Structure 1
Amino acid sequence: MTAPSSRPTAVRLGAAVLAAVVALLIPVSPAWAHNTLRSAAPAQESTLSSAPTEIVLEFVERLDPTFTTIVLTDAAKRKVPTGDPVVGGAKGSVQVTGALPNGTYTVAYRVVSTDGHPVQGSYPFTVADPNSSAAPIVGTTTDAPSAAASVQGDDGPGTGVLVAGGALAAVVVVVVGGLLLRRRANRR
């Protein structure tokens, strides 16, 4: 009497593993597509002939208004007065309430998008108003905190990615263990 083939069982087991992996990865996939800055006004690295009255940042995904921070600092790393962030969909903005004499400024941001993942960054722009009589602000050599440090936080992998990775690893361990046990049982 011949032993029944384990091939149909292996095919079914493989299909079940594939279905489990797909089921785990589909709900988590948005966590891998983290939010990014789409555009900014003033633009990154730009030189303006007049000081801006507003900073507007547009992202790829919607922002959570509760966790949106936009900070403006001058070349000496001092915070420039601005209004509170206003969020509408994927845009965040602040009104510049302080004067901006000629000089280099840094916009720093920290936002949380719909996937719950924090994203942060910063970029410079320069004001070079030919009609300005104010002295330009120059950087200092002190170790003042940077604008990016004032909005710094955890930028590690999202919780969904960690859960999916752990579940996938567990599925692989169970499947490989089951296949090894089955092979060992068939050899006896």
Structure 2
Amino acid sequence: MRFTRQLLSALLGALALVALLFTAGPASAHDAAEASSPADGATVATAPAKVSITFNNTPLGLGSQVKVTDAAGTDWADGKVEIVDNTASQKLREGAPAGKYTVVWRVVSSDSHPIEGTFAFTATAAAAGGTSAPVQTAGTPQPGATQATGTAPESSEPFPWSIVVFAAVALGLLVILGVLARRRLGVGDRPDDGDAGK
């Protein structure tokens, strides 16, 4: 009887662990980007002095990276990423030319998981000190009339393999306990040799 109680307790514990893992998945979703400046796909009058990404929670400062590359592949990021509240900002070097820019960012979310994403914008004129000619694009708005902040940039999160591993271990434990229980019950159901001779 003692073994049976212990076995039932172990089975209930394993079932509770599996239920906790599957229910905790959606609740423990990683942080996500809510907006960027400039907005993804925006056209701005001149290359900005900095770019920024706003998140739904405050990311950790460790391991943050933001690259701002022009059409030629030159990275115009200047210095380290600055995180204030839930916004990560990256300054640009002076003289950034006109043209299309691609921003690739990577931060560590508040739950210690790395998240990353990208967005792009176009500058119709170079920043102060730049020498490139203005970019002519269809429907380019007048300087000062463009919107700098808007829709959230694309972001991606690593697949939660840890949850899958824990679930597999818990299910394996359930199978082992089930086999042991069947064997134990089988032994308990066998008649004693003395009883068989009666």
TM-score category of the 2 structures, normalised to the smaller one: 0.5 to 0.7
TM-score normalised by structure 1 residue count: 0.67
Aligned length: 161
TM-score normalized by the length of structure 2: 0.65
Aligned to 1:110: 106
Which structure carries more strand by proportion? 2
State the 1:157 CA deviation: 4.3
1:100-140 Cα deviation digits (max 9, x unpaired):
3321111111111122221222221101249x973258xxx
Match of 1:41 among 33, 37, 40: 37
Equivalent residue number for residue 76 of structure 2: 80
Tell me what 1:98 maps to: 94
In the other structure, the counterpart of 1:122 is 118
2:172 matched residue in structure 1 = 173
Q: Note if contact 1:68-1:85 (Cα within 8 Å) is conserved in structure 2.
A: yes
Aligned to 1:134: 132
Gaps of 5+ in 1: 138-154
Which residue is 2:58 aligned to?
A: 62
Unaligned runs of 5+ in 2: 136-156, 191-198
Q: Give the conservation status (yes or no) of the 8 Å contact 2:47–2:97.
A: yes
Please provide the CA RMSD for this pair.
3.5
Alignment-mate amino acid for residue 134 of structure 1? S
Per-residue CA deviations over 1:38-62 (Å, capped at 9, x if unaligned) read: 1000000111123322211111222
Counterparts of 1:133 and 1:16, CA distance in 2: 68
CA distance in 1, matches of 2:39, 2:93: 19
Query: Relative contact order (C-alpha < 8 Å, sep 6+): which is higher?
Result: 2
Q: Given the superposition, is the C-alpha separation of residues 98 and 88 from structure 1 closer, same or farther in structure 2, using an over 3 Å criterion?
A: same
Could you tell me the percent identity over the aligned residues? 27
Number of the residue aligned with 1:18: 15
